Amino acid sequence: MDITVRKNYSPHDKITKKGIRNYFRVGSYALLFFVFLLTYFFLQDENLRILGSLTYKVVVRKIALGGVFTFLILVLKNLAERLIVKKSKAPAYYNPLRVLRLASILLISVSIVSTFFVNWYAAAVSLGVISLILSFSLQTPLTSLIGWVYILMRSPYRVGDRIKINSLKGDVVEVNYLDTTLWELGGDYLSNDVPSGKLIRFPNSLVLQSAVFNYSWEKFPYLWNEVSIFVPYNSDLENVEKVMKAITAKELGTELNKSIKHFKEVVKETSVDEESIHEEPFVSFNIHEELWIQATVIYPVELNRSIGIRNRLIKNILAELQKAKP
């Protein structure tokens, strides 16, 4: 059974499917924005004696002004999210949404600090001291945040890609600011690349320390796969090679030539010699123990079709070789 990575997976599916909830959220933010705005202008009246002390009035007015900026940013952020989701497809909008959310958090923080600190020098000093303290106490999370920025800028992987990092292998289902979540493939109880039913979560800082193997490269969405069988030493190796090539070419059809030509075009952009790439499936032989020859056919295949094609090739090749026996 083929395992297909759902490329359009995103945690924001719930937002797109349940637009009413999003509209209610935006409406609530807008209502709170106007409440804080009216409160702020209401407290501008110097003759107002509701709060008694002028000091309390100033504090509440600052809180109201901070609320105005906060909920205005939230309204604009949610409207921008809706626009991004509407104008682009998953997973292309995943990273822009993350950046938008982070930017909104920073803007809200700056607006609140600037509201309570009229003196910008005092505010800058306060932020500097806080940042210095946090940099020591939150060193690991900050490294993971830097890893997220690296993932955003360099794109070693994105949601929907199949990757391997260290001993972890799976499909990326979520990339947060501090960690990445994989849908594990294989695992302790499976030998094939099928979902194990477990999720793996690792810190983004791991990307800065380890090699990332991406099996879902956009420029070449194929993998070189192989099927091996064992035949006796006295077998007709030419016939074995012919059978394995013919069945593989028939199974892959016209996609085979397209994938190989596409691979050659990609290789031309590098220093690799594209002339060494075979135009068709090729077979290699290795001497094995106990009077056996290992015959291996190598071919390019799309990632989500690899398991099904491999199973069919094994069945068809063995059946055809059985017919050739005297």
Domain for residue 57, yes or no? yes
Domain end marker among 214, 239, 264 = 214
Q: Is residue 49 part of a domain?
A: yes
Weakest-pLDDT range from 187-196, 224-233, 278-287, 303-312: 187-196
pLDDT (0 to 100) of residue 271: 62
Question: Would residue 134 count as lying in a domain?
Answer: no
Q: Are residues 204 and 275 in the same domain?
A: no
SS3 201: strand
Same domain, yes or no: 114 and 17: yes
In a domain, 131, yes or no: no
Query: What's the one-letter identity of residue 86?
Result: K
Q: Round to whole Å and give the CA distance between 302 and 162.
A: 12
Instruction: Count CB atoms within 10 A of the CB of residue 102.
Output: 15
Together in a domain, 260 and 292 = yes
Identify whether residues 83 and 177 lie together within a single domain.
no
Residue 12: per-residue pLDDT: 45
pLDDT of residue 266: 72
Q: How far apart are the first and last CA of the chain?
A: 34
Highest mean pLDDT among 6-10, 194-198, 296-300: 296-300
Task: Please report how the helices 19-42 and 54-87 are oriented relative to each other, as an axis angle in degrees rounded to 10.
Answer: 150
Between CA 274 and CA 278, with CA 276 as vertex, the angle to 5 degrees is: 100
Q: Is the pLDDT of residue 16 over 60?
A: no
Residues 294 and 255 in one domain: yes
Burial of 100 (0-12, 13-18, 19+ CB in 10 A): middle
Question: Do residues 18 and 101 both lie within one domain?
Answer: yes
Question: Domain with 194 in it: what CATH number?
Answer: 2.30.30.60
- Does 272 lie in the same domain as 226? yes
Residue 70 neighbours by CB under 8 Å, 6+ apart: 108, 111, 112
The number of beta carbons lying within 10 Å of the beta carbon of residue 151 is 21
Q: Are 204 and 144 in contact (CB under 8 A)?
A: yes
Domain hosting 264: range is: 222-324
| pLDDT mean over 270-286 | 72
Where among 214, 232, 263 does a domain terminate? 214
Instruction: For residues 103 and 171, state if they share a domain.
Output: no
What is the domain-level CATH number for residue 313? Answer: 3.30.70
* pLDDT beyond 90 at 201: yes
Q: Has residue 29 been placed in a domain?
A: yes
Residue that terminates a domain, selected from 118, 140, 165: 118
How high is the mean pLDDT of the chain?
78
152-171: pLDDT as tens digits: 888 899 888 899 999 899 99
Are residues 65 and 25 located together in one domain of the fold?
A: yes
User: Alpha-carbon distance 168 to 201, whole Å?
Assistant: 10
**pTM, full prediction:** 0.60
Sign of CA dihedral 238, 251, 160, 192: negative
**pLDDT value of residue 207:** 92
Residue 11: band (very low, low, confident or very high) from pLDDT cuts 50, 70, 90: very low
User: What tokens were used for 236?
Assistant: 């007709």
- List, for residues 207-245, the tens digit of each pLDDT value: 999 999 998 877 777 778 899 999 888 888 899 999 999
The answer to whether position 143 is within a domain reads no
Portion of the chain with pLDDT greater than 90, in percent: 17
Other C-beta atoms closer than 10 Å to the C-beta of 181 total 17
What is the Cα–Cα distance from 183 to 6, expressed in whole angstroms?
A: 11
Domain membership of residue 175 (yes or no) is yes
Strands of the sheet with 292-302, listed across from one edge: 222-232, 292-302, 282-288
Higher per-residue pLDDT: 324 or 314: 314
**Are 251 and 289 found together in one domain?**
yes
- CA angle 100–102–106, rounded 5-degree value: 115
Model pLDDT, residue 299: 87
Residues 247, 209, single domain; the answer is: no
Same domain membership, residue 193 and residue 160: yes
What total number of domains does the chain contain? Answer: 3
In a domain, 79, yes or no: yes
Pick from 75, 79, 70: nearest CA to 15 = 79
